[in-house]
Amino acid sequence: APRRVPLGIQEVDNGAILGFSAELSEDHPGFHDAAYKQRRVNICNLARSHRIGEPIPHISYTAEEVAVWGSALTRLEHLFQQHACKEFQRSWPLFDLRPDAVPQLEDLSQVLQGTTGFRIRPVAGLLHPRDFLNGLAFRTFHSTQYMRHSSKPDYTPEPDVIHEVIGHLPMLADPSFASLAHAIGVASLAADEEQLKHLVKLYWYTVEFGVVREGSDVKAFGAGILSSYGELQHMAAGGAEVAPLDVWQPLPKISYKDGYQKRYFALESFEAGAVELQAYCASLQAGLTDEVRAAVGLAS
């Protein structure tokens, strides 16, 4: 059957969870912790029953979860001034994140809506890439709400609330980045399976693990770097190769499980990189119908 292109966020499925979610794999740090697994089930169920337009459920985080959050925030914040890109640093104060409370997605969504018009939709786990990217076309960022396991506070193989909030939200509050995220989303509506694979890699090596040159420095803008103390130190210490990004060339296979990245792709500047990525997205967007273009706010 031909693929149905969603015309609104209500038509983007948030049910296609690719693992993690409530059922943890054997190598997950929380696999042997029954209380942790039950907590995940509860939080995932709240996300599953959420409906667009309703407020995002409030979570009462436990003292243990607040401690994991607070320690991650405090340790990461110390590295941002030197190693986070200027767009990230500019947006950071908007969210007023504090170590003594895990922020509520509803409040953060309000802040985002007031800056770039992006909003947050709660989701139970790692979403299918097409659904996840489709959400961006409707200025919606799908976000998990559960906390990583306390035995591994510095690294998580899956998205969790620390990754989403600290890593992604500050960039999404930047107008130029938000416009890029929207363009990637719109391109995903047009992409066939082959094109989607490349788009997912572009997303991975930029939005998740991208770095950008600022003068003679290399700064992080990818959420997977900015939300992981270990990964950010690895990047800051020059632990990985830095290669220029060519959006038109094939990119390496993605691994979710190999630990830190061995190679980062760098934008020459944020502005120049955004132009290149926008050009790639525009090449896919050419295939969209007027109905879809109108639905995502593009001129026909």
Catalytic residue among 28, 142, 149, 163: 163
Is 208 assigned a catalytic role? yes
DSSP string, 195-264: HHHHHHHHHIIIIIT-EEEETTEEEE--HHHHT-HHHHHHHHTT-SEEEE--TTS--PPP-SSSSS-SEE
The single residue among 69, 92, 118, 132 that binds ligand H2B, judged by CB under 6 A, is 132
The single residue among 97, 186, 223, 245 that binds Fe ion, judged by CB under 5 A, is 223
Is 227 assigned a catalytic role? yes
Residue type, 49: S
The reply to whether 129 sits near ligand H2B by the rule CB under 6 A is: yes
The single residue among 72, 108, 133, 267 that binds ligand H2B, judged by CB under 6 A, is 133
Chain position whose Cβ is nearest to Fe ion: 223
The reply to whether 166 sits near Fe ion by the rule CB under 5 A is: no
- For the chain, the C-alpha Rg in angstroms (whole number) is 18
Residue type, 160: D
User: From the CB of 263, what's the least distance to ligand H2B, in Å?
Assistant: 17
The stretch near ligand H2B (CB under 6 A) out of 38-46, 85-93, 124-132, 285-293 is 124-132
Task: Give the span between the Cα atoms of 222 and 198, in whole angstroms.
Answer: 17
User: From the CB of 196, what's the least distance to ligand H2B, in Å?
Assistant: 9
Cα–Cα–Cα angle for 147, 181, 73, nearest 5°? Answer: 30
Is 151 assigned a catalytic role? no
User: Token match 């740090």: residue?
Assistant: 29
Is 134 strand, coil or helix?
A: helix
Nearer to ligand H2B, 112 or 213 (CB): 112
Strands 140-143 and 119-122: parallel
**Which residues are within 8 A (CB) of 18 and not within 5 positions of it... i.e. 6 or more apart?**
125, 126, 127, 128
187 phi and psi angles, rounded to 5 deg:
-60, -35
# chain residues binding Fe ion, by CB under 5 A: 1
Is 28 assigned a catalytic role? no
The reply to whether 123 sits near ligand H2B by the rule CB under 6 A is: yes
The stretch near Fe ion (CB under 5 A) out of 55-63, 215-223, 241-249, 260-268 is 215-223
Tokens of 278: 């926008």
Site pattern 189..218 for ligand H2B (x: CB under 6 A): -----------x--xx---x----------
Residue 127: which of Fe ion, ligand H2B, none does it interact with, CB under 5 to 8 A by kind? ligand H2B
Task: Give the span between the Cα atoms of 124 and 158, in whole angstroms.
Answer: 12
Residue 198: which of Fe ion, ligand H2B, none does it interact with, CB under 5 to 8 A by kind? none
Contacts 24+ apart (CB under 8 A), 90-98: 90/174, 91/115, 91/169, 91/170, 91/171, 91/173, 91/174, 92/170, 94/170, 94/173, 95/165, 95/169, 95/170, 95/173, 97/73, 97/165, 97/166, 98/73
Catalytic residue among 208, 228, 231, 234: 208
Site for ligand H2B in 158-177 (CB under 6 A): 159
User: From the CB of 159, what's the least distance to Fe ion, in Å?
Assistant: 5
Residue 203: which of ligand H2B, Fe ion, none does it interact with, CB under 5 to 8 A by kind? ligand H2B
In the complex, the residues that contact ligand H2B under the rule CB under 6 A are 123, 126-127, 129, 132-133, 142, 144, 159, 200, 203-204, 208
Catalytically annotated residues: 163, 168, 208, 227
